[in-house]
Amino acid sequence: MSDDALSGLDEQQRAAASLLRGPVCVLAGAGTGKTRVITHRIAHGVDTGAYSPGRVMAVTFTAKAAGEMRGRLRALGVEGVAARTFHATALAQLNFFWPQLAGDTAPSIVDKKVRVLGQAADGLGLHLDAATLRDVASRIEWRKVAMRTIDQDAVAHPQGLGTLDAGKVADLMRAYEKIKDERRQLDFEDVLLACAGMLESEPRVAAAVHEQYRHLTVDEFQDVSPVQHRLLELWLGERRDICVVGDASQTIYSFAGADPRYLLEFGQRYEDAQIVRLERNYRSDPAILGVANALMRGRPGALALSSPRLSGPAPTVTSYDDDAAEAGGVAAAIAAQIEAGISPHAIAVLYRANAQSAPLLAALAARGIPSSVLGGRRFFDLPEVRQAVMALRAATVAPIETSFLATVRDILRGLGLSDDPPPAGGALRDAWEARAAVLRLAEEAPAGTTLRAFTDELMARGRAQHEPALRTVTLATLHAAKGLEWDHVHLIGMSEGLLPISYATGFDAIDEERRLAYVGVTRAARSLSLSWARSGGTAGRPRPRERSRFLQEIGPGARDTDTARAAGARATSAGRPRS
């Protein structure tokens, strides 16, 4: 074995990284180091001569995750591995083989599905609002990832969609496809379907892909959809050298076609599969893992997470009179954490639906606490950041009379970076935080970095979506928080109708909501607070709420607290909970 690639791994991680041949399944719980295992396994295969880097395909679901994988492989001295998303891999193969097969360039990609759908609706004489068009776009996406025809979709959804009956929905889908065909365009889901069709119908293309890629690794395997699973089968062919990594307890994208059965039944599909369980969590305190384990106890594929840490404070459960009191109480708790020396960027507030962010933003701004909502524009797409990168890039053509860091600071000050930040809660503060993050990247650059090298690094980070952490409290939905972590997490809205959400009916839908709660809990490293409001709705028409069934399942794993009544909470304490 290569000690370089396997050093620093624990016993379970080392066992997984040492399995280089045959079907391998790594069941990796939250915070157990799955990306570390994937990259060290590949590096170990390269070090021992079992793999050639150019013959390895590693696929995942986001460009950010793929970029992180490539960065870790580079740090281990491995270059040339094809670490990409499913769509990027499929698109690269289409662009390479299409000219050989058709004698023409591959079709272009639809920029905005809703716009094309609107044109299709106009052609049919249908006058549809934007919300209906978005719903039809979502139905199209689901149909394609499930590998269903338009007729099969109509049978599966006889009730239609909104004001459209099933026949009209089918007509609109056909008109949409006709426009795309006339324009020689593919949408995002077509890329996977077209690549699969090419591999199925062209044996020489399949043979070339099988010759190029001998070893296949799949990250986040619990999120694989039917069309992605079919593509994996075609990439693999008759061979069996595949390693899948995933956690059934983190399946939260069923609405996008994710099917955890592919992970759960891997050992049945490959009877000789080698299965390794990673259950040693290096992120969270034992008390937090106790809550996570209680939520998933008895569920298919659930792992029993443990931690080498000493147990920290017990998670708390707090009830408030209403949403405003809950937002004020959480803001007060965060203010106390910051006053105790905790950096804002180490704190997150997580919730089920985007609409829950509004009172939180107001409550935090009222206390002068900077915050940012995850899932908005990407950092390197922000106008302030683009302006800063362009200005820094332009400065590289002129002789620099001061130090690199002083030059960066002067340029950013000229763009509006003041010594003192503007008040929290507005666009000016958001712009200031973005420019301050660029300055911190410069301050953290290695000694001897030139301005040109720094701007090259900024541009590379932008392409890889390797974004810096803003010095703000993060607000995020549970879906957006997956794959991230914070020292201190406040999980709000733990009431029936919010988590689980009101439209989740049936066992499978409720189980998905439970997995969302599990994802939220396992984002926390040091402290976790859970809260809910006893009433919702408007001030004139309050609606009573009930405590979430998930809080009942946690049992004694979290400590209940009480709060002052709403009037007192909105006064001096702003809802600060008291034991």
- Nearest alpha carbon to residue 140 among 251, 259, 257, 262: 257
Cβ neighbours of residue 197 under 8 Å, at least 6 residues apart?
none
Phi first, then psi: what are they for 25, rounded to 5°? Answer: -125, 120
Residue 32 known to bind ligand: yes
What sign does the dihedral 467-44-57-225 (CA atoms) show? negative
Residue 29 known to bind ligand: yes
> Residue 104: which region, alpha, beta or left (left: phi > 0; alpha: psi -120 to 50)?
beta
- Nearest alpha carbon to residue 83 among 72, 75, 94: 72
- Nearest alpha carbon to residue 229 among 201, 262, 251, 203: 262
- Nearest alpha carbon to residue 113 among 161, 170, 52, 180: 180
Cα-based distances in Å from 179 to 72, 133, 134, 184, 378: 43, 16, 17, 9, 31
Q: 80: number of CA atoms within 13 Å, CB side?
A: 12
Residue 33 known to bind ligand: yes
Residue 482 known to bind ligand: no
Provide the token pair at 395: 């400065």
Residue 175 known to bind ligand: no
To 5 degrees, how large is the angle CA 175–CA 176–CA 182?
Answer: 85
Q: Compute, in degrees rounded to 10, the torsion defined by CA atoms 348, 352, 356, 361.
A: 20
- Nearest alpha carbon to residue 489 among 475, 507, 479: 475
Provide the token pair at 322: 């209403």
Provide the token pair at 126: 């249908």
- Nearest alpha carbon to residue 113 among 185, 63, 165: 185
Residue 450 known to bind ligand: no
Cβ neighbours of residue 113 under 8 Å, at least 6 residues apart?
137, 140, 141, 187, 188
Residue 355 CB coordination number (10 Å): 10
* C-alpha span between 153 and 437 (Å, rounded): 47
Residue 112 known to bind ligand: no
DSSP-derived 3-state class of residue 55 = helix
Cis bond upstream, residue 500 (ω within 30) = yes
* C-alpha span between 140 and 390 (Å, rounded): 39
Phi first, then psi: what are they for 97, rounded to 5°? Answer: -90, -25
Provide the token pair at 579: 């034991």
Residue 34 known to bind ligand: yes
Residue 215 CB coordination number (10 Å): 22
Provide the token pair at 114: 């809703």
What's the N-to-C CA distance of the chain in angstroms?
54
Annotated binding site for ATP: 28-35
Annotated binding site: 28-35
